[in-house]
A = this chain, B = another copy of it.
C-alpha cells in the first residue's frame, strides 16, 4: 500500500497502584530527546509480531517484572504533531497493580518510579501524556462505579475498610463507612465474605472479603459517585 501514509504505532501504559493512601502512577524519566529529562508514561513501539495488548504487557513487564496485571486498552491518541519526530499513534492502556512493585532494571527502567498522580501533574509529562493520564484516572474513577476493578488494587482477601479506601483514594474524597458497608453488602455479586476474620489492631476483628469475579468484570450493582 505504498500510496498511503505510514505511521509509527506505539503503546503507552498508565499503570496505577496505591501507596501510602495515595494513587500513584508508574513514570519514567526520558533519557533521550524529544522531551529529554521529562517524565513520561512507560511505552514504546509495537513490534511486528505482537498485538497491541501484548506490546503494552511487554512494556509493563520490562519496567516492573509483573506478568499478569489487570490491563485494558484505554484509547488511541493520534494528533498529527503529538510526536515531533514523526507521525506516531499511541494506543494507550490502563493497568492496575495490587502493590507498587519495585521497577526492575530493564530497557528504560533505570529511571522508572512510582509517583503520586498529583505530583506528576504538577511536574508535567512529555508528549500528550498528561492528557492520557487524565483520561486514565477518569476511566478508573468511572470503572469503580460499575466494575470490580477496585479489587485489583488489593490483595486476594481484604476488609471492607480496605476496599472503601480504594474508592476514597481514586475518587479523592472520604466515604461514610457505614453507608459503604451497607451498599457493598446489599450487592454481594461482586465481592463475597470468605468467612474468615482478620484481627484488627484495636476493636473487633474485621470480616475478610474476596472478589466474586476478578479483574474488570462488569457488575450489576454499581456504586455511583454522584449518589454519595
Q: A87 in the interface, Cβ–Cβ < 8 Å?
A: yes
Q: Report the separation of the CA atoms of residues A49 and B218 in the bound assembly, to the nearest whole angstrom.
A: 38
Selecting from A18-26, A71-79, A103-111, A160-168, the interface stretch reads: A71-79
| A40-48, A174-182, A207-215: which lies at the interface | A40-48
Question: Is A220 engaged at the interface, CB distance under 8 Å to the other chain?
Answer: yes
Report B-chain residues with C-beta under 8 Å of the C-beta of A4: 8, 45
**Interface status of A120 (Cβ within 8 A of chain B):** no
- Within the complex, the shortest CB–CB distance from A71 to chain B, in Å, comes to 13
Q: Verify A7–B46 contact, CB threshold 8 A.
A: yes
A86 within 8 A of B: yes
Cβ of A1 under 8 Å from chain B:
yes
Contacts of A226 in B (CB 8 A): 220
- The CA-CA distance from A90 to B111 in the complex, in Å, is 33
Report which of B8, B91, B146 forms a contact with A146, defined as CB distance below 8 A: B146
Contact B76 A51 (CB under 8 A): no
Q: A75-105: which have CB < 8 Å to B?
A: 75-80, 85-89, 91
**Known contacts A4-B8, A5-B46, A6-B6; is-contact A91 B76 (Cβ 8 Å):** yes
Question: Which chain B residue has the least Cβ–Cβ distance from A218?
Answer: B142
Report the bound CA distance from A1 to B79 in whole Å. 18
A1 and B85 in contact, given A8-B6, A51-B78 (Cβ under 8 angstroms): yes
**Cβ contact of A76, chosen from B8, B76, B224, cutoff 8 A:** B76
